[in-house]
Amino acid sequence: MKAIVVAIALLMFEPILFAKARKPDGCVRPAPGSVVQGPEDLSSRHGVLRVELTYRDLMGANNQEEYCYQSPDGAESPTLRLNPGDLLILKLKNELKEPAVGMGPGAMVLGQPMEVREPCDSSIMTPLSTNLHFHGLTVPPTCHEDDVLRTLVQPDSPPFEYRFRIPENEPPGLYWYHPHVHGFTNPQVLGGASGALIIEGIARANRLLAGMPERVFVIRDMDLLHPNAAPMQSGNVPPPIVLRDAEGDILNMSTGGGKPAKDLSINFVPMPYPDYPPAKILVRPNERQLWRVLNGSAITYVDLQILVANTVQPLGVVSFDGVPINEDGMAGNRILWESHILLPPAGRVEFIFRGLPQGVHANFITRSVDTGPAGENDPTRPLATIVASDSASKPHLRLNPSPKPLPPPSEVWLGDVKPVRTRTLYFSERPKNPNDPKSPTVFMITVEGQKTEPFDPRNTTPNIVVHQGDVEDWIVQNRTQELHAFHIHQIHFLLTDWNGVPVYEPFLRDTINVPYWDGKSKVYPSVKLRMDFRDPNIIGTFVYHCHLAEHEDGGMMGIIQVLPRNAPSVGSKPADKDRQRKYGLLNAPNR
């Protein structure tokens, strides 16, 4: 009786997304060559978005593990849509059953599955553990919000509730959600565990987008469906020799072609090697659209381009990594017209697609990416054929036709702030067994002056301690012969130097490529980033890492602690624990 009364009360006083009665029976993936459909949209109502997601896995084609988030009506990886100031209440039920087959070299089991632990302070880290990271959002790194260090949900746990409010000043744009369990992120993301999250209001930042129809495309990678197939060749050119790294991924062939390390899909429509049957994107003739594109790949870079009869079509970029390119509101209505757009894993871009005349076809492709001699092979290949036709359905979502301008920024543009200090960090690698070069690789990111070692989740000592309100410059070097993608949780940053050369970018990022080392130069490739720790929402402990999930799992991650503005700089010694609790810096379980 009590449950009935509660249910009636919720129906009366809380907006709820009603679901169809159909019981989902697992991940459902489209066939190659299918028409690309947009993910289901779940939008907030009256300032609240309530979501229920069940996290499942199953064995797909060629014994590949597939992971999926499903809403009660069976929709897979729905797009979550919220406004600044909205409350997100997301209940995640873990129903994983099969162990992950792609455990990274840095994977650890910190407890035993039969132990009973609070999800907020769990030491159970197994292939069946999961959690959620809301990539790019400036929300607190605490349990039930955006903590990934201690929050671990097990299959026998009741639905775990994420509950947080989107900051009023969160930039409008494209974000995403995915699991973030150290040692097991790679197989889960590679299996499809990801979804888009949109903060509404981008037309408020750029009024040229007002009323424009919008599309969401999530590019994902996966293990090769036909791993033993030979590349398609022209003439009598022999297929290249396929070399693999210690983790089994196909190395960069420096040819722009050949066998890729991974297959790709767009909104789950696969384009499998070797013939790459493209997906189909249907558009209405001459209709401009805002395309929101997420590279949700685990390890694959994409370099996006649209061609009509081999002629490059300009792409009107309006946002990167969820942030409009308007210098924090000081330069509105800005569009950067680009011939191609390079996105690392986790990168997002929002651009204007200019439209096509009736009957015209275009090719949406990814160009080859030089990931370095030790990097994976990411060759040129098609993603989709774009077809302009009157029979194409109208996009069901359009941006606000009469948007109110965003309020002026309350803080100084990050590029105009003098940093309080400069730090140097560097990526490095070594074989797990120094006597065996073919042993799995250990991946590391190190603060200069500290011991070079992989991330250990049992060690809670932060590598970096800052205060809320600080702005710092970080020089991130790459001392390896493959590309790495630097990412930090909770904040965005500004690129100010590329290989020692000053650059000017009118936008912020949360993920960036760091060029690979040639193995000979005395100066390592680097980027200089202006890091912004001014937002009080980020007080707490969170991580930075390479966003190639295999590298992250293998140890290429570090911990940063943001102290309150006037808090003393405390460490991790026992005598400091009371002071840490006083300032809310420990992710203690909710009691």
Model pLDDT for residues 263-274, shown as the tens digit of each residue: 999 999 999 999
Q: What is the pLDDT of residues 31-72, one digit of tens each?
A: 999 999 999 999 999 999 999 999 999 887 777 899 999 999
Q: Which structure tokens are listed for 229?
A: 């197939």
Q: What is the pLDDT of residues 200-210, one digit of tens each?
A: 999 999 999 99
Mean pLDDT of 475-481: 98
Q: Candidates 2.60.40.420, 3.40.50.300, 2.40.50.100, 3.20.20.70; correct CATH number of 14-200? A: 2.60.40.420
When pLDDT is cut at 50, 70 and 90, the band that residue 239 belongs to is: low
Q: What is the pLDDT of residues 422-438, one digit of tens each?
A: 999 999 999 988 888 78
Q: What stretch of H or E contains 580?
A: helix 577-582
Domain ranges of the chain: 14-200, 214-228+242-388, 414-582
Q: Check residue 213 and report its DSSP letter.
A: B
The pLDDT > 90 percentage for the chain reads 72
Spatial CA neighbour of 96 closest among 129, 124, 118: 129
Q: Which structure tokens are listed for 330?
A: 């000081």
Query: How far, in Å, CA of 167 to CA of 224, rounded?
Result: 40
Residue 241 has pLDDT above 80, yes or no: no
Query: How far, in Å, CA of 124 to CA of 111, rounded?
Result: 4
Average pLDDT over the chain, rounded to an integer: 88
pTM: 0.90
> Quick check: helix, strand or coil at residue 303?
strand
Q: What stretch of H or E contains 205?
A: helix 202-205
> Quick check: helix, strand or coil at residue 549?
helix
What CATH number has the domain spanning 214-228+242-388?
A: 2.60.40.420
Shared fold status for 14-200 and 414-582: yes
Q: What is the pLDDT of residues 324-379, one digit of tens each?
A: 998 776 777 899 999 999 999 999 999 999 999 998 999 999 999 999 999 999 99
Preceding peptide of 274 cis, ω within 30°: yes
Q: Which structure tokens are listed for 40?
A: 């289901």
**pLDDT at position 460:** 87
**pLDDT at position 242:** 82
Q: Are 414 and 530 in contact (CB under 8 A)?
A: yes
**If 0-12 CB within 10 Å is exposed, 13-18 middle and 19+ buried, where does residue 287 land?**
middle
**pLDDT at position 324:** 95
Q: For the chain, what is the largest distance between any 2 Cα atoms, rounded to a whole number of angstroms?
A: 76
Looking at domain 414-582, its CATH superfamily turns out to be Cupredoxins -  blue copper proteins (2.60.40.420)
Query: How far, in Å, CA of 13 to CA of 435, rounded?
Result: 65
Residue 479 has pLDDT above 60, yes or no: yes
